A and B are shown apart, each in its own frame.
Chain A
């Protein structure tokens, strides 16, 4: 059976690849991603809870939950600066298992047989898989366009995805990844006065991080209503990806937890042995 070897969470700011290219490996952002990347050495497959930014999907057909079954996908599809396009191998067999078993458990996942990948997937890959040796399974949760799925349902989803992975008849080792920020407004009225993005609620970032540190998942799920997450920014629903990860993590303690609160971000890794 497949083995889960790590669980981590990171942001996906599209400017970060260019920033790190300019500032070098000693920069704060490079160091933070490096801390997380070090936890993934044993992983063959990354299962990533992610919220597409209306690039892979659009309002003509916008799933609350989508599972790819394609063999590969190309990214970035959204003109992310500082990144060259590449084709990423996807874990299609695992995608099929997740799709089938979640559907059997009364979820309603969309089947995605053809897709491209935006920065919300490719930026974490850029930093966490620089050798491009891993396969990927993104699991898409709508975190950007209300109505959003509930935090409680995302928590349950994470636990159920973990069970599917652990039941997967494969010798591969799997790491679970959450992609996203806790407070961030991009392009909306609460951006900074001199930038295209802003962090409307730095205190929420610190508060969520404290919940993670203390293992207070139930409290976080109760607090993470759509209104509360959206109050933290128009992409504040990306917290749902972290909550799904927490569902998979269960009672394990967080081992690494670093903040860039002024940017709306945290970086985390959970003990998994």
Chain B
């Protein structure tokens, strides 16, 4: 539904062990506990860091995807995604 839900997903990964375990296990109850759009859910499932950041994700919270290994994300994948925006700052975020 927007940046709030994206950030809530990443926040819950950090502070809610049950949510985190559910996401890592592919538990549909965990995935559907946050009101994500289909595009947002796809971005999380694919760990599309560049897309999430472009759509307003807080970058500090975003690192929880790597910290907890969502989708088996590697550091190379994460760095490539987050640095995709170095050349062109995301709209509205300076």
Contact = CB atoms under 8 A, between A and B. Distances in A.
Interface of A: 53-55, 58-59, 77-79, 116, 144-145, 186-197, 234-235
A58 B8 contact: yes
Contact of A145 (B4, B58, B76): B58
Contact of B61 (A187, A189, A194): A187
A264 to B, nearest CB: 14
A194 B79 contact: yes
Interface string B34-51: 000000000000000000
B14 A188 contact: no
Contact of A188 (B59, B67, B75): B59
Contact of A187 (B62, B68, B85, B86): B62
Contact residues of B: prevailing secondary structure: helix
Contacts of A77: 14-15
B15 A78 contact: yes
12 contacts: A55-B15, A78-B15, A79-B20, A186-B59, A187-B82, A188-B82, A189-B53, A189-B85, A191-B82, A191-B83, A193-B79, A196-B66
A196 B60 contact: no
A12 B8 CA distance: 24
Interface centre among A189, A194, A195, A197 (most CB of B within 10 A): A189
A142 B67 CA distance: 23
Contacts of A197: 63
Contacts of B58: 54, 59, 145
B79 A187 contact: no
B75 A195 contact: yes
A196 B83 contact: no
Nearest to B20: A79
Contacts of B75: 194-196
A93 to B, nearest CB: 28
Contacts of B83: 189, 191, 193
Nearest to B66: A196
A234 B60 contact: yes
Given A54-B61, A187-B63, A196-B67, 14 more contacts: A53-B60, A54-B7, A54-B60, A55-B15, A59-B8, A78-B14, A79-B17, A144-B60, A187-B59, A187-B82, A188-B62, A189-B82, A192-B79, A196-B63
